[in-house]
Structure 1
Amino acid sequence: METRNLRKERIGIVVSNKMDKSITVQIERRVKHPIYGKFVKKTNRFMAHDEINDCHIGDTVRIQETRPLSKNKCWRLVEIIERAK
């Protein structure tokens, strides 16, 4: 029996939870500029599936890649690491 491929996981901050069973997670990474060498912050936003509408804006969460759930949504919530204060 074949094992499943490892799925990508990301840690980010919830920036929107206005949708039903969906959240928007912003992921920030630091990239070194190829010429000048300065580290620049790059951000990506992913829509993720939140089955029980448990997340709030500002929560730090772990999301995992999954099959496409809708046009824009192919990530799902794994756990809430830290609640917003």
Structure 2
Amino acid sequence: MKPIFGKIVSDKMQKSVLVAVTRIVKDPTYGKYYKKTKKFMAHDEENACNIGDLVRLSQTRPLSKRKRWNVEEILKKAEI
């Protein structure tokens, strides 16, 4: 599966982060574009991510009930 890109919205767990992925969708009836956001739990082995970081996720085997993604790379660090 291709990687997805998102922004960290929570890093309060050990070795886990919550990532919000936003995509643009076109309404089939009216043709208007709007944003949809979905949240994914991801594994962060080094605890390197902070809130606001832009990251790339790759799919992996199920690590827990909700975790099926792995933080592959931090693309942009958040400004504190």
RMSD value, Cα: 0.6
Task: Tell me how far apart the structure 1 counterparts of residues 57 and 21 of structure 2 sit (CA, whole Å).
Answer: 10
Verify: 1:61 aligned to 2:55, yes or no: yes
Equivalent residue letter for 1:16? S
Asked whether 1:72 is paired with 2:66, we answer yes
Matched positions, count: 79
Point out 4+ residue stretches in structure 1 off by more than 2 angstroms.
none
**1:1-85 to 2 correspondences below 5 Å:** 7-85=1-79
Which TM-score applies when normalising by structure 1? 0.91
Task: List runs of 5+ in structure 1 lacking aligned partners.
Answer: 1-6
Please, which runs of 5 or more residues in structure 2 have no aligned partner?
A: none
Counterpart amino acid of residue 12 in structure 1: G
- What percentage of residue pairs aligned between the two structures are identical? 54
In 1, Cα distance between equivalents of 2:34 and 2:68: 27
Higher strand proportion (structure 1 or 2) = 2
- Show CA shifts across 1:47-77 (max 9, x none): 0000010000000000100000000000001
Question: Which amino acid is 1:27 matched to?
Answer: V
